[in-house]
Amino acid sequence: MSTAQDIVHNGSCLCGAISFKLEGKPLFSIYCHCTQCQRADGAAFVSSMHFPNSAFTWTHSPTSKPDIEDLGGMTLYRCPKCRSCAACQFGAPGSDANWTIRGSHLARDPESGRILDWDTVKPTGHIFYGTRLVDVADDLPKWEGFSNRSERLG
C-alpha cells in the first residue's frame, strides 16, 4: 500500500510547454463554482486541488518559464505559448503560499482519459454553489461559499 509521500502527480499546461509535479495528497480538493474560476477558466465549474508549497515543483524547461499575472492576492502562472493557466498561488509571486491546481491539468491515462490516481485527488464537495451555472446531481456537500464556513445548500 502506498503512503501519501509515495504519491506523485504530474501536470502541465494545454500545450505541455510548462509542467510541474506534486508530491503527496492535496490539503483539500473541491469543485469550485465561484465567478473568478468561471471567468478564468471559461467553465461552469472547476476541480480545484490545493497543495502546500513544499509539494509543488516546476519541471518545465527554463526557456518555457510561465508568465506571472498578479491579481492582488492570487498569482496566476500562464504558459507563454498556449496562455492556459497552469497553476496559481494565493499569495505574492514567489511566496510560500499554497498552490492551486486544476484537475484538468493533471496527467491522464492515455487509454481511459481518466486522471491518474484520481482517488487521491478527487473533490469532496462543491463551494460557491450559490453562483453555479449548472446544477450538479451528486451526493457531495454543496456550500453557498466556503465549505464549513457558509450555509450548506445540499
Higher pLDDT, 88 or 72: 88
Structural contact between residues 68 and 75, judged by C-beta atoms closer than 8 angstroms: yes
For the 7-64+100-131 domain, the top CATH level (class) is mainly beta
Name the grid cell of 116. Answer: 491518474
- Which pLDDT band holds residue 1 (cuts at 50, 70, 90)? very low
CA distances from 18 to 8, 108, 114 (A): 17, 16, 21
How much is the pLDDT for 94?
A: 65
- Give me 33's grid cell: 463554482
Residue with cell 491546481: 101
pLDDT average, residue stretch 68-88:
82
Residue 85 has pLDDT above 90, yes or no: no
Domain ranges of the chain: 7-64+100-131
pLDDT category of residue 4 using cuts at 50, 70 and 90: low
In angstroms, the CA 66 to CA 78 distance is 5
Q: Extract the C-alpha cell encoding 137.
A: 446531481
102-112 pLDDT tens trace: 999 999 999 99
